Amino acid sequence: MKKVNVLGVCVIVGIGILLQSAHAQYREYAKESGIGIPFFKLALNQRFDEHSKQVHFYTRAQFLYDDLMFVRSDTSGYDADLEFIIAIYDKNNRVVRSKTVHKKIHVPNFDLTNSRKEKLIIKNDFFLNPGKYKILGRSNDLISNKSAQRKVSIKIDDFIHKKIAMSKIIFAHDLQRDSSGHVLSFTPTFGNNFNVRSGHFFVLFDVFTQDTLQPLQVHYSMSSKSKKSDLDTTITRTAPARYNTFVLDIRKERFNRSEYTLEVTVSSGKNKIKQLQNFSFYWTDVPNTIADIDLALKEMTYILSSDSLKKYLKAPLKEKQAFFKRFWKERDPDPATARNELKNEYFKRVNYANREFKVMGQQGWQTDRGRILIKFGFPDDVERHPFEMGTKPYVIWRYYNLRKTFLFIDVTGFGDYRLHPDFLEVEYQ
């Protein structure tokens, strides 16, 4: 297949379209990250507290060093200065809990100031009664004087008066337990996503039951959209306490797809409760398994020569990764930043194509519409004709700045839009 200068086209059509990941295995950067404000991710988790009979509410804010302002230290290295405020409002907009945390970060060298791997996590814990609340998190960079904030609404259930109740499922790593199995600490995942498929992760939740004479049965399964079940297990506690903690230790290697759903059902006699939670495996920097990087290389088929693609599909994992890093580093439009805007834009288009254009037997990036979208970006105008008399459904894409027009025909009537032969040459003009 003839290659075109897609990277040049990508720059022409812009790098700022926010899309959601769906089937591809690349996790896009948040649009607020890497633009000079103290952006943070917020994880909110709940557990039942036996002593207070309240809900133990955990807040975790994660900052990448690249999103903080560092200045040269008076002695050596570089310093950042951050203030973080977390406030909890009740249904009447009254502040019921709040904390302010002041953090100073020191790094020994300049490279760490732009790191998107090094991070700061600020932890705050509260105990809340049942009710509806609004959570406000606000960060203030005391060097740049810039700020960022997030607002989230939550509901705390009244578990203590239920026959059986289950806390919100928590996906975690770095979980620590004492000799009796009591959970001492954990670090939650942010967005329930895992960047690497090696090692293991934990699923943590509490179960409250009024009837301690009935066995407590927990059934959990993990399944992807295209596979019925990757994991299906039942745990039974014959003599449960009123408060019960369950920790599932899961190996990541058993999952080879991008998106999964965890389903947990807890039963005690005739009482039953069920909860669903989604989680994912999306890479953010470089794919770390052969399956993931092979898919990424195939998705780059429109900008790679066929010889390079064949060569690196056969290469060992480390060689594939080195080539992937080198390829995108050479095309980074702003090497001074840790974020590669061009790579992010390219795989954002792949993600969109996979979500919107998938047809029977083909991922979205392999379809004609997916190929054109990845190469040229989003059209300036889309003209749809789904119900024209005497013709198959068709759609016209127009790119005014590029002076290109494409006609796609739904040849099967089931959304399989193919590029009309008369427009094949337009792609390579």
The predicted pLDDT at position 9 comes to 33
CB 202 within 8 A of CB 194: no
The DSSP H or E segment spanning 350 is helix 341-356
Look at 18-22, 145-149, 306-310, 375-379 and tell me which has the smallest mean pLDDT: 18-22
pLDDT at 97 over 80: yes
Boundary residue ending a domain (236, 268, 283)? 283
Same domain? 411 vs 289: yes
pLDDT at 28 over 70: no
Nearest CA among 100, 170, 94 for reference residue 131: 94
Distance from C-alpha of 186 to C-alpha of 282, rounded to nearest angstrom? 22
Same domain? 69 vs 107: yes
For the stretch 199-208, pLDDT in tens is 899 999 999 9
Same domain? 110 vs 183: no
Give the mean model confidence (pLDDT) for residues 398-422.
93
Say if strands 243-251 and 200-209 run parallel, antiparallel, or are unpaired.
antiparallel
The predicted pLDDT at position 8 comes to 36
> What is the DSSP annotation of 224-250?
ETTEEEEEEEEEEESS--SEEEEEEEE
Same domain? 98 vs 201: no
For the stretch 383-396, pLDDT in tens is 999 887 888 999 99
- CATH number at 41 reads 2.60.40.3880
Give the pair of three-digit tokens for residue 281: 């495996």
Same domain? 289 vs 220: no
Whether residue 1 is contained in a domain is answered as: no
The predicted pLDDT at position 226 comes to 66
Q: What angle do CA 153, 194, 20 make, to 5 degrees?
A: 60
> What is the DSSP annotation of 258-277?
SEEEEEEEEEETTEEEEEEE
Domain count, the chain: 3
Query: What is the maximum span of the chain, computed from C-alpha positions, in angstroms?
Result: 78
C-alpha separations of 72 from 36, 39, 77 in Å: 17, 21, 6
Same domain? 123 vs 183: no
Same domain? 251 vs 364: no
Boundary residue ending a domain (127, 156, 185)? 156
Same domain? 106 vs 237: no
CB 203 within 8 A of CB 169: yes
Contacts of 39 by beta carbon, 8 Å cutoff, 6+ apart: 30, 32, 33, 63, 64, 67, 139, 148
For the stretch 153-179, pLDDT in tens is 999 999 999 999 999 999 998 899 998
DSSP label at residue 115: -
Whether residue 249 is contained in a domain is answered as: yes
Give buried/exposed letters for 309-326 (b at 16+ CB in 10 A, else e): eeebeebeeeebbebbee
pLDDT at 30 over 80: no
pLDDT at 379 over 90: yes
Give the pair of three-digit tokens for residue 357: 């254009």
Question: How many alpha carbons fall within 13 Å on the CB side of residue 281?
Answer: 23
The predicted pLDDT at position 173 comes to 87
3 state SS of 59: strand
For the stretch 294-330, pLDDT in tens is 999 999 999 999 999 999 999 999 999 999 999 999 9
Residue 318 carries which side chain, given as an amino acid letter? Answer: K
Same domain? 209 vs 268: yes
Same domain? 178 vs 97: no
Give residue 75's domain range.
32-156
The predicted pLDDT at position 20 comes to 33
CB 83 within 8 A of CB 140: yes
Give the mean model confidence (pLDDT) for residues 103-124.
93
The predicted pLDDT at position 228 comes to 65
Whether residue 384 is contained in a domain is answered as: yes
The predicted pLDDT at position 389 comes to 80
Whether residue 278 is contained in a domain is answered as: yes
Of 8-22, 117-131, 182-196, highest mean pLDDT: 117-131
Boundary residue ending a domain (130, 156, 182)? 156
- CATH number at 225 reads 2.70.50.60
Whether residue 92 is contained in a domain is answered as: yes
Nearest CA among 154, 138, 122, 119 for reference residue 45: 154
The predicted pLDDT at position 341 comes to 87
Same domain? 117 vs 239: no
For the stretch 270-291, pLDDT in tens is 999 999 999 988 888 888 888 8
CB 145 within 8 A of CB 367: no
Distance from C-alpha of 133 to C-alpha of 153, rounded to nearest angstrom? 6
Share of the chain above pLDDT 90, in %: 67
Give the pair of three-digit tokens for residue 405: 């027009």
Q: Rounded to two decimals, what is the model's pTM?
A: 0.76
Mean pLDDT of the residues in the chain: 88
Same domain? 278 vs 170: yes
For the stretch 248-258, pLDDT in tens is 999 988 887 77
